């Protein structure tokens, strides 16, 4: 399947949300959650009945993404 078609299919089925008040970032796909587990401190995943990841939740998201954003900003300025 061509990558563009795959990405279009994924885009129509995903849910991306950031709650600034609680500083939680969530990425989810359609499906019913069967299990939830914390894979690292503040990072949880939701699994469906086939144990496929259908959601990722990141607590303290601004703290997690801040170093990444700084790195990307430096690379853009340097380019």
pLDDT in tens, 45-54: 999 999 999 9
C-alpha 53/C-alpha 59 separation (Å) is 17
Q: Is 4 a member of any domain?
A: no
Q: Which of 20, 27, 30 is nearest to 60 (CA)?
A: 20
Q: How many domains does the chain have?
A: 1
Distances (CA, A) of 37 to 11, 24, 68: 24, 16, 24
Q: Is 50 a member of any domain?
A: yes
Residue 41: helix, strand or coil by DSSP?
coil
Average pLDDT over the chain reads: 83
Q: Is 5 a member of any domain?
A: no
Q: Is 36 a member of any domain?
A: yes
Q: Which of 26, 20, 15 is nearest to 62 (CA)?
A: 20
Identify the domain containing residue 34 by its residue range: 10-78
- pTM here is 0.69
Q: Is 2 a member of any domain?
A: no
Q: Is 66 a member of any domain?
A: yes
Q: Is 1 a member of any domain?
A: no
């Amino acid at each position: 399947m061509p990558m563009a078609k795959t990405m279009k299919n994924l885009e129509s089925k995903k849910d991306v949300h950031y709650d600034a008040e609680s500083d939680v970032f969530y990425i989810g796909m359609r499906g019913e959650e069967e299990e939830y587990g914390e894979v690292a401190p503040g990072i949880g995943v939701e699994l469906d009945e086939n144990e496929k990841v259908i959601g990722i939740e990141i607590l303290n998201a601004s703290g997690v993404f801040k170093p990444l954003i700084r790195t990307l900003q430096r690379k853009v300025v340097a380019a």
